[in-house]
Structure 1
């Protein structure tokens, strides 16, 4: 814009000079001998020409400044105002795109700022919700621990093996909650490091099942497995964390009956399917199923030790592996069906 302004003023200077000196010569105000003389002198015509050039340049610059200056100053002024409001806690404010044309750089700045403000608002809201949810989760086990320990000190409770086991269960629940929160935080901040290796997950599934064998038998759950021997490029520790969380959910929610665990390998994907004869999940809950702290039955989950983070952690870890987890109604058993799909060879940068 400044280059065009300079070029325009230069051209106008020559044009004004041509017309001024032509007029002065024709009117007899300026003698041609003076023009052709080698001696330097400033005439009244020169002053007229300089005055007209300066006057034209001033009006042209002022016109362009008023016309185009607002294109820059108004968005920047709006940006400064919104920043001030956001500093005061009003995170919902955004900069409106001006109706008139604005430079590409200013437009890009406004779009990036609005995107940053939206992300900041979501982060603050999530932080508020998470803080409340975490406090809610911690309140029950901490209250129980405090009450039982105070009872032991006051001689109300006898510190026998059953009480010790109860206190240990509460502490284990707290440790699970802390580990789940840590995992979700690492994934959300893109700091989760996967120790990837080519692994046969059949051995891991069978190892995790062995951990639940007695509890499955006690609840009369009959587990049928059909597993392939193909290898997958995954973090074995994180995958075993997923299997344990899924088996815990089946133990918590499934009715007595059968559980089917099958794997299938295609040219591109390794697919794990888990089905049960439980009550299934109502369609109204499916949309929120993998969100943190979401419970289908709040009271029942608390009694069974659930934190509401299990499925959220599973979904986050699988997403970190560039995989997917789906829920559907089991066609074979009528209960829940969870399907995990992973790439056989995934190019992971995490």
Structure 2
């Protein structure tokens, strides 16, 4: 199945929309023209009835009735046409400051001959057959009521405030005159040509518009292909202020993020390789020395080998825990727990095995959060291990727990050496060490604080680092109170 490109779709959409709009305009114009023109014709004919009403009034005032006019259809027809032609004559022949002399007289016995009138004074279309004459109570005196639903306009015949009768004019419900039909036909033809011209203009407009609209999309498409090939140093023009400009800015941000992630992944692999190579190289050197007889296979040698294996095991376990946490596969059994008890139990358990003095300050005996006690204990042990490894002897550690606006706050502050200000934002990064104080000789893998950060995040908490007032590191953890 042949696919249609977006350029063709945009082009066809614009063209179709303009053609539909032009077609709707043509249809509306045709409907409006027919109905409006028909209404216009009716109004013109109704206006021509003014002299007929005037003559009817004069005839009634003179004879007291209209019997003479309605005695026959021919008499009525001659009366109507005479009134129309006489009015036409007054308006077109008499000078502007002349007035008709005397009452208007007509001969109803002699048939009216419009051919005797000048060409420009021909009477309008005969209206007599569509006129209805009634008395003041609308009792029909002449003419027939239509049975096809045609509309009738009733014009009163007045003498001062007295109504002498009514003249009803049956309105046209269709255009039948040949000239009028020709006019409608010509107007419709003109509108059709306008429609064709609009289609041509739309065609000429749609092509460059579609190209201009799709040019930045094509640029994004090419950039995405470049990005998929692994080249992340690409960027798009972001000068546009519309949605395409926002798309370009989002793409540039994506490319930058992918580039940073690639650099971080490469650094991560290099750091992991370096971290694993060191204990493995030490193990290999120790074993080769024993095999060559350079070093005796005694208890001290075996203890040294065991320490390197333990250090390697710690590193592998930390990597496993961190990868499980990143993947969301680290199990958490969330329930109500007292964070004060978790801190007390873990600090007491390691108090004799570390080289720093501990102090725990709690404003209350119980601060409850929604957490996993086992993972929270792991968090505390990692923080203790970090303090013990990177604090000069004799070091101090102050752990203070408080609550502020339904937030449980844990402040973990140790003594020097401190962490440089520029390094504070990186201490939760994996395998990150501050060169002056955190080195491989102390036994740290550089993964403990990264795992701490993941555990805090899993408890909907926030962790930050700053310089401690005791000269070391100040880690602050905030947990929402239980029930929030």
Whether 2:205 is the aligned partner of 1:64: answer yes
Query: What TM-score does the superposition give when structure 2 sets the normalisation length?
Result: 0.56
Q: Which residue in the other structure is 1:286 paired with?
A: 424
- Greater radius of gyration (CA): 2
Compare relative contact order (CA 8 Å, sep 6+) and give the higher one, 1 or 2: 1
Q: Does the 8 Å CA contact 1:16/1:53 hold for their aligned counterparts? A: no
How many aligned positions are there? Answer: 320
Which residue pairs with 1:28 in the alignment?
Answer: none
Task: Work out whether 1:262 is the aligned partner of 2:395.
Answer: no
Cα deviation 1:273-295 (Å, max 9, x = unaligned): 33333332233332323222221
Q: 1:207 to 1:14 in 2, by over 3 A?
A: closer
1:94 maps to 2:224: no
Distance 2:29 2:295 in 1: 106
Please give the alpha-carbon distance, in whole angstroms, between the structure 1 residues aligned to 2:371 and 2:209.
57
Find the counterpart in structure 2 of residue 234 from structure 1.
Answer: 371
1:177 equivalent in alignment to 2:344: no
Q: Distance in 2 between matches of 1:346 and 1:311?
A: 27
Q: Distance in 1 between matches of 2:195 and 2:272?
A: 71
CA distance in 1, matches of 2:262, 2:203: 46
Q: Choose 316-325 or 200-209, whichever is displaced more.
A: 200-209
Asked if residue 76 in structure 1 is aligned to residue 89 in structure 2, the reply is: no
Task: Answer whether contact 1:16 1:49 (CA < 8 A) is retained.
Answer: no
Instruction: Spell out the pairing of 1:91-130 with structure 2 (5 A cutoff).
Output: 91-97=232-238, 99=240, 104=243, 110=248, 113-130=251-268
Unpaired runs of 5+ residues, structure 2, are 1-13, 31-176
**Alpha-carbon distance change, 117 to 152 in structure 1, aligned in 2, over 3 angstroms:** same
> Cα offset for 1:346?
6.6
Q: Secondary structure at the match of 1:95?
A: coil
Aligned to 1:138: 276
* Cα pair 1:294 1:308 within 8 Å, conserved: yes
Q: Confirm whether residue 6 of structure 1 aligns to residue 147 of structure 2.
A: no
Secondary structure of the 1:322 match is coil
Q: Structure 1 50/85 Cα, relative in aligned 2: closer, same or farther at 3 Å?
A: same
Taking structure 1 as the reference length, the TM-score comes to 0.75
For 2:327 and 2:209, the matched residues in 1 are separated by 42
* Secondary structure in 2 matching 1:317: helix
Structure 1 residues 112 and 172: alpha-carbon distance in aligned structure 2, compared to 1, 3 A threshold: same
Could you tell me which residue of structure 2 aligns to residue 27 of structure 1?
Answer: none
> What CA RMSD, in Å, does the superposition of the two structures yield over aligned residues?
3.7
5+ long unaligned stretches in structure 1: 18-31, 38-44
Q: Displacement of 1:136 after TM fit? A: 1.6
Is contact 1:321-1:346 (8 Å) kept?
Answer: no
**What's the secondary structure of 1:96's corresponding residue?**
coil
Shift of 1:189: 4.6
Give the number of the structure whose residues are more often helix, by fraction.
1
Change (3 A) 1:151 1:65: same
Give yes or no for contact 1:94–1:117 (8 Å, CA) kept in 2: yes
After TM superposition, list the pairs within 5 Å mapping 1:10-29 onto structure 2: 10=23
Shift of 1:142: 1.3
1:188-233 Cα deviation digits (max 9, x unpaired): 45555432121123343344334433332xx3x3223334333321
1:29 alignment partner in structure 2:
none
Which digits, 9 at most, give the CA deviation of each residue in 1:19-42, with x for residues without a partner?
Answer: xxxxxxxxxxxxx979979xxxxx
Equivalent of 2:442, from 280, 304, 323? 304
Q: Distance in 2 between matches of 1:205 and 1:234?
A: 13
Shift of 1:320: 2.7
Note the C-alpha offset of 1:54: 8.1
- In the TM superposition, what is the alpha-carbon distance from 1:141 to its structure 2 partner? 1.0
Distance 1:244 1:14, change over 3 A: closer
Alpha carbons 2:324, 2:330 under 8 Å: kept: yes
Structure 2 Cα separation of the partners of residues 329 and 111 of structure 1:
36
